[in-house]
Structure formats: C-alpha cells, structure tokens
Structure 1
Amino acid sequence: MDSHSGPYLNHKALCSPLGAARLCQLALGCAVIAMVTHTAGYSGSHGVFCMAAWCFCFAMSVLVFFLDATRLYSYLPVSWDNLTVTCAAFATLMYVTASVVYPLFFVQSECPYAGCDVRNFRIAVTVCSILGTLAYGAEVALCRARPGQIVTGYMATVSGLLKVVQGFIACIIFGALANRSQYSQYAGTIYCVVVYAFCFALTALVIIMTVCKRTKAVCCMPFDRFVVVCTLLEVLLYLSASVVWPVFCFDTKYGSPWRPSSCPQGKCPWDSKVVVAVFSFVNFGLYLADLIYSQRIRFVSSHRPSNSRA
C-alpha cells in the first residue's frame, strides 16, 4: 500500500510481530527508567552511562513508533527500513552493555544501606533491561534479510548489521583510549589511534550513505563494490593495529606485560591498554567476517518509496 493513500494511521504498527516487539521496547524502557528514578537509583560514571543508554533508546523507540504509526516516515528523506534496523541493532548493543554494567556495579546479594527494597528494585531493573535486549533483538531478527532474498536494504543484511557492531566496538575503544591509556607516548600507539578513528569514520560513512539512500554509485563504482573495498582496507588497517598496539604497550622495551602492583583499580593505564588490545582483535574479526560475507550478497538499490516492515 502506498504510504500516502489509505488510512492515516498504520494499524500494522500495532497488529504485527514487529509492532509487538516495539511495544515491548516501549513498555520495558518505561519500566526501567521509572524504577531507576523511583528507588533503584544510579551514581557515578557507570550509572550515568546506563541511565543515558536506557533514556536514549526509549526516546528513539518512541520516535520510531510514532513515525511508523502515523506514516510520517514517508516524508523523511531517508530509507526507513535501513534506519529502523540500524536503530534497533544499536539499541540492542546499548541494552546489552547496560544489562551487564548495571548489575555488576549496583546489584549485590546482601541488602545495601538503603534497604532490601533498593536491592529488589535493582534486580527488577536488570531483568527488565535483559528483556528489553531481547525485544530489540527480536526487531533485528524480524527485519534481517533472509538467504536468497533480494537485498534492497543493506543494513538488514549480516554485513550491514556487522557495520553497527563495528562502530559500537570502536566507541568502546575510544572510551578506553580516553581513560588514561597514555597512547601519546609512542608513534606506534598514535598510529593505532589514527587507524581506529579512520576505520570508524569509514564505517559511519557507509551507514549514513545507506540510511540517506546515497547508494547509486560511489567513486565511479557500484555501492556494493565500494563497501567491499572499504572493508578490505579496514581489515588490513585493523590487522596492523592489532599487532602494533600490543607491541608498544606490553613489550618489556616499551611497557609491561603484567599489571603493575602499584596501579590503582579502575584508574590504571595498563587496564585501558588491555581493553584496547582485546577489542582491537574483536573488531578485526568482525571486519574479516564482514569481508567474507560481503562476497555472498549483491545489493540492489531501490528507488521506490520505502515501506515499513511493520
């Protein structure tokens, strides 16, 4: 159905598996925010991150649901299907992180000084956050392109979803770099930071181009070939950074292979260096998997008005 004809409200935004998943996202997100602000509480940088993640995802879900239910998305100069699956994938990663960080720092087996009610509410927040992760993951699963299906939405493919994960992992790396990583000590570690920033920018560019429907041709080559070229370049760059960073951080000539005993917990540069090294290997593996999978798909640019999957 043309989004400009028929009923003004999209009943499928409610009466469909995708609509049900989005309603669950709204209900669970509202429950989490209400319980945290009412009794569970949050404090410190970890608590602020979790609360910011839940609030951001809730606001994003409200906007997506409203635009889908009113069909106003058809007036936006974006690919609606690509935008929604990208938002759902990003929200899934945010909820996964918050579902791990919040109980790790705020949930204890014994009752805190504020009483057992606080502990119980924090457990409930964790449970709702995990269920919210499943709700966002369900939307990704419902929107994901199936094998043999003609690909008109790149972000719905495994390669497109991997792009979101790669960008999220890069953000974790940047956070570790900013947390006393001492990356400016050596030219080799500075090179690695440049690699991380360049690959993140390239990945973000591909996502933005896809969402904004700029997929006709790039640099006189088809979009799918452009993505493969970018991914190959990112694989090579991350391979070099995954080798250079550990050498300049953990070799005895430049650093320490073991955690210094005098290093304070939570404020140790060595810990940040380990986080960067681990997630560098993780992102290298993701880019490699992306490169392998991208050989199996052919992206078909669609210039028809984007219809919601709901």
Structure 2
Amino acid sequence: MSYVFIFIREHLVSITPSDLLKSHTALVIFKMEKPKFSLSALTSTRGALHMAQIVMCVVTFVVSCVWGHPGHTYWIYCMVVWGLCPIISLVITIVEMFLIHKLILVFCMDWDDFTTGMAMMASLCTFSCTVMFANFYICRKCIWGWMVTILSAVCCALYCVETFRDKCDATRSATYVAVLPGFIKILEAFIACIILISLIGYVGKPALLWCIAAYVIPLPLTLLTIITNILTKLKKCLPIDRFTMLFLVISVLLYITAAILWPTYSFKGNPRPKDCPGNSCIWSIQFVVTFMTYVNLGLYVTDLVFTCCGICGFRRS
C-alpha cells in the first residue's frame, strides 16, 4: 500500500482533486512507499561487500586490541577507524535492507551521494591506518604488527572496490560528496585529523599553541559545510555558498599563519638527529605536521577558488 501526503505551507491537510486544480497555493506532493524488507541488500554484490567490510574491520579491531599499544595517538586513531567504519557499513546495510533510504531521499538527503562519500572516507581512513601500522609497528619479529597491517590493507581494498563500483555506476547520483567539491572537503577534514593526531613538541611554545588553534578551528567548519550540502532540503533554504566562502577565507588565513609559524618554531634550534627512525623520532613527526599543513593549505585555496567560481556564476566540474 502507498500513501500520498500533500503539504500546503507546512501544514498537512485533506484536499479533493477539484480543490487541488483550483488552488493557487504552492504545493509539495510526496508519494511515499511503505517500508518493506528487501533481502537484496544482503545478497547483492554491494551487500556482500558491506558484509566483508564489517567482518574484516571487526577482525582487525580485535587483533589490534589483543595486541595493544594503548596511549599512542596513532594506535588510538586506528582503533577508532576500525570501530567506526563497520558501524557505518552496518547502518547503511540496515537502512537499505528495509528501504528506509527511499524515505530519506524524499525528505532530507541524496542517499547515493552520501553512501559513496562514506565509502571514499573509509577508503582514506583505512589506507592511513595501513600506512601508520606499517611505519610504526612492523619489524622483523613483530608478527602481530604484520598481521594487523595486512588485515588493514584488506579492509582498505574492500572499501576502495566499493568506491570504484559506485563511481562507475551510472545509475547512482553524485551531487556533492561524490564529486570534486565534496571530495576536496573530505580530504581537508581527513588531513586535519592526521595533523591533530601528529601534534607533538609544542609544550611551552605559544606560537605553536596558536598553530593548534589554526588546525582545530577549520575542522568543524568543514564538517558543517559537508553536512549542510548533504542535507538537500536544508541546502535549498540557506545561502550555503556564501557561508562556505566565508569559512574558507577564515580557514585559508589560519593555515597561512600555521604554515609560517609551525616550521619556524618547530625546527628552530632543532636540527634533524643523525639517528631518527620514522617510528619514534619527534623531528620526523613534526615534519609530517609541516608537510600536511602545506597540503591542506593548498586544498583550502583550491576549494576557495572553486567556491568563488560557483558564486560568480561559473560552472564547477
């Protein structure tokens, strides 16, 4: 059974067809299917991918938890990623299994765009976890480190396959997150997270404390922009492009100050040690923060240019 709801100026009313023809009031008509159970969400290739992602992430989480390196920020970050990614995959599977995404599509967001964006984000996060474990926890006799790294690489491969399938599927829509402007936003948030978990050696240096503020402030602004663009109904009600440009100007200015202050005060009187292994050398981690600062500055500048072009009426790719 299906239901038809007619909204007139945000009020649900009963109206006859003749009244509907005579009415000059703006109408919004939604035809909403009753939620049903669909087993294809599990038996399809997409469903099988989600099940494999959930299983592999949970196994990786458990193996890493049993092995354990508590207190290390990189280890904590990896555990959060391996714990959050399967939860997202599970929620997406449940929503699609009961066809709830059709209701979500009507009322608030582009579901295809959202799920593709989540797959892209999970691919980036699991890839970063694989690189971190390979750099920090692998040695000739570190069997657990090798196991976790291989399992994380499998998780990354599964999410990359889903991303590739979604991008090649012409039937799936891509309105923001799955296209260039949204993907740049995802990269900005991702790199900001990498910077924040890599911060070290700033105690007692006010200039570096300012840099931390410069890294922290743009992150919620970026996440807010992503959420607002995903929620299509909200996006239509707000001048989001103008707000986005303001946020980007603030972010660019903050990152410019960080790009100047962080390398200046991090490496002042702090030359690279002769013995500086990548997994324990503070200098190397500070260099990672410096490099990522310049990468994110470039992304924010690029994003600002795209946003300005959109406001000025030029078409964005």
User: How far 1:64 sits from its partner (Å)?
Assistant: 1.6
Contact 1:145 1:151 in 2 (8 A): no
**1:190-269 aligned within 5 A:** 190-213=209-232, 214-218=234-238, 221=239, 223-250=240-267, 255-259=268-272
Is contact 1:238-1:280 (8 Å) kept?
yes
Q: Which residue matches 2:89?
A: 61
The question of whether the paired residues in 2 share the 8 Å contact of 1:13 and 1:65 is answered with yes
TM-fit CA distance, 1:287: 2.0
Secondary structure in structure 1 of the residue aligned to 2:177: helix
1:10 corresponds to which residue? 38
Structure 2 CA distance, aligned partners of 1:106 and 1:262? 18
In 1, distance between residues paired with 2:125 and 2:31? 31
Q: Deviations over 1:90-123 (max 9, x none)?
A: 322221122122233443334x5xxxxxx2x654
Tell me the residue number matched to 1:305.
Answer: none
Q: Write the letter of the residue equivalent to 1:278.
A: F
Q: 2: CA distance between counterparts of 1:8 and 1:154?
A: 28
State whether structure 2 residue 150 is matched by structure 1 residue 131: no
1:68-87 superposed matches below 5 A: 68-74=96-102, 78-79=108-109, 80-87=111-118
Query: 2:21 — aligned with what?
Result: none
Return the letter of the residue paired with 1:180.
Answer: G
Partner secondary structure for residue 297 of structure 2: helix
Query: Deviation of residue 140 (structure 1)?
Result: 2.9
For the Cα contact (< 8 Å) 2:49–2:158, is it kept in 1? yes
Which residue, 83, 88, 97 being the options, matches 2:128?
Answer: 97
Following the alignment from structure 1 to structure 2, what is the Cα–Cα distance between the partners of residues 262 and 31? 36
Whole-angstrom distance in 2 between the partners of 1:145 and 1:209: 26
The equivalent of 2:201 in structure 1 is 180
The CA distance in 1 between the partners of 2:289 and 2:75, in whole Å, is 22
* Structure 2 gap ranges (5+): 3-29
After superposition, the CA RMSD in angstroms is 3.9
Cα separation, partners in 2 of 1:150 and 1:268, compared to 1, 3 Å: closer
* Corresponding position of 1:41: 67
Q: Give the distance between the partners of 1:234 and 1:286, measured in 2 at CA.
A: 11
- Matched pairs, number: 278
- Mapped to 1, the partners of 2:173 and 2:97 lie a distance apart of 25
CA shift for structure 1 position 151: 7.3
Structure 1 gap segments, 5+ residues each: 113-118, 300-310
Matched-pair contact (CA < 8 Å) for 1:195–1:241? yes
Per the TM alignment, residue 41 of structure 1 is displaced from its structure 2 partner at its CA by: 2.2
Deviations 1:201-237 (A, max 9, x none): 221110121234321243xx3x345434533543343
CA contact (8 A) 1:82 1:210 kept: no
Contact 1:155 1:161 in 2 (8 A): yes
1:26 aligns with 2:47: no
Say whether residues 1:51 and 2:70 are aligned partners: no
Residue 259 of structure 1 aligns to a residue whose secondary structure is: coil
For residues 125-174 of structure 1, give each alpha carbon's deviation from its aligned partner in whole angstroms, at most 9, with x where no partner exists: 43232121122123333444999x99763111122122122112112222
Deviation larger for 268-277 or 66-75: 268-277
Q: 1:108 corresponds to which letter in structure 2?
A: C
User: Given the superposition, is the C-alpha separation of residues 146 and 191 from structure 1 closer, same or farther in structure 2, using an over 3 Å criterion?
Assistant: farther
1:129 aligns to what SS in structure 2? helix
Work out the CA distance in 1 between the residues paired with 2:120 and 2:172: 21
| Letter paired with 2:126 | Y
Name the larger-Rg structure. Answer: 2
| Corresponding position of 2:12 | none
Structure-2 residue corresponding to 1:159: 181
- Point out which structure has higher relative CO (alpha carbons under 8 A, 6+ apart): 1
Aligned AA (2:224): L
What secondary structure is seen at the aligned counterpart in 2 of 1:155? Answer: coil
TM-score normalized by structure 1? 0.71
Alpha-carbon contact 1:24-1:135 (below 8 Å) kept: yes
